[in-house]
Amino acid sequence: MNIREQMEERERRTLSPYAALSEKSRGRDRFEPEDDIRPVYERDRDRILHCKSFRRLKHKTQVFIAPEGDHYRTRLTHTLEVSQIARTFAKALRLNEDLTEAIALGHDLGHTPFGHAGERVLNELCIRGFSHVEQSVRVVEVLEKGGMGLNLTKEVRDGILNHRSSGKPATLEGQAVRFADKIAYLNHDIDDAIRAGLFTEEELPREYTDLLGHSVKDRLNTLIRAVIFHSIDEPCLRMEPETEEGMQGLRRWMFQNVYTGGEAKREEWKVKGMLELLFDFYYRNPSEMTEEYRELLSRDLSELPLGGEEERIAKQRIVCDYIAGMTDDYCTRKFLQYFVPKGWQKY
């Protein structure tokens, strides 16, 4: 028996009957021989961790665009916080930690520069719309590895696709990430908003903080425990209803005061103008994209009739891919390069 088989046997003995066992995976789109050390979900976790899209998350906005300070969350630190909370769920509930971590690390790979502001702009510009959730799946299925994708298991891709509130993950591990994402972003966005001076802890609605806690630490503890102790030995994850109602109330307050209004939105009109110009520029000048995206475009167009609507959609798709993959800094540099005279840039 090799090491992988020993680990799979350990999963059979120790994990919950509702957990996703590595040996029971529905597999990958392209066949690969098994590894003699790592089970399938551990391999998926490693592939995501080492891919280029994951590394670029460190320079992508979470909520605050170009904040003045080193301690605001980025898309990468958000991802790591989601992973930590999701693994806490998995360990306490005897779920598959490797699958949970793989989904958590991959759930936001398709996010645009400048956070949801960038996502909204691309959604307006693309004929078929744009969603960071679907883009995250496209990253792992198509865009990574020069157009080959990472060839992840179906369970990991399902968890990535269904991590939003409206999603319905097929595994409890995917459900763990879905809860962890909401808990993480609500609490770290409050922390960042307080750091930015938008409000103080004392100004948060008491009807919610009296229930959930009067600090980020206390609220995290309350929400995590509300999932764990309401989900033990259950076939699905759920949160204690009163606590979930409090979390949703605080989330609505954040949408009103931070996500859709206030200081965090002040720079978004600039993002819209910048991305609209870049989108039009690359659509008209696809040769200015990097080689891997030019090759993807050439591959897609080779299968389509020239000059038709399908060609237009295919070009838009690759331009969206290219811009969505940019970091905030790279996007800004390209905007300055193409649209701001060099003599002005010193100002």
User: 77 with 215, same domain?
Assistant: yes
195: tokens are 């750091």
User: 159 with 57, same domain?
Assistant: yes
User: 171 with 276, same domain?
Assistant: no
Q: What integer pLDDT is reported at residue 12 of this predicted model?
A: 98
Last residue of a domain, one of 233, 265, 297: 265
pLDDT at 93 over 80: yes
- Residue 174 in any domain: the answer is yes
- Residue 282 in any domain: the answer is yes
Total domains in the chain come to 2
- Residue 46 in any domain: the answer is yes
User: 77 with 145, same domain?
Assistant: yes
Q: What integer pLDDT is reported at residue 264 of this predicted model?
A: 61
User: 124 with 252, same domain?
Assistant: yes
Measured CA to CA, the distance from residue 164 to residue 321 in angstroms comes to 21
- Average of pLDDT values for 207-228? 97
User: 67 with 209, same domain?
Assistant: yes
pLDDT at 68 over 80: no
Q: What integer pLDDT is reported at residue 188 of this predicted model?
A: 94
Q: What integer pLDDT is reported at residue 261 of this predicted model?
A: 65
User: 184 with 153, same domain?
Assistant: yes
User: 300 with 195, same domain?
Assistant: no
User: 68 with 172, same domain?
Assistant: yes
- Residue 32 in any domain: the answer is no
User: 304 with 179, same domain?
Assistant: no
Last residue of a domain, one of 215, 249, 265: 265
Last residue of a domain, one of 265, 292, 326: 265
- Residue 305 in any domain: the answer is yes
- Residue 13 in any domain: the answer is no
End-to-end CA distance of the chain: 66
- Residue 30 in any domain: the answer is no
pLDDT band (50, 70, 90) for residue 64: confident
User: 332 with 215, same domain?
Assistant: no
Task: Tell me the pLDDT of the chain averaged across its residues.
Answer: 94
Q: What integer pLDDT is reported at residue 59 of this predicted model?
A: 94
- Average of pLDDT values for 175-198? 95
Which residue range(s) make up the domain with 305?
268-345
23: tokens are 């040996």
Instruction: Give the CATH number, domain containing residue 127.
Output: 1.10.3210.10
Q: What integer pLDDT is reported at residue 347 of this predicted model?
A: 64
Q: What is the per-residue pLDDT across 128-177, written as a single tens digit (0 to 9) for each?
A: 999 999 999 999 999 999 999 999 999 999 999 999 988 899 999 999 99
User: 50 with 84, same domain?
Assistant: yes
- Average of pLDDT values for 27-34? 96
Q: What is the per-residue pLDDT across 233-274, written as a single tens digit (0 to 9) for each?
A: 999 999 999 999 999 999 999 988 887 766 666 778 899 999
- Residue 156 in any domain: the answer is yes
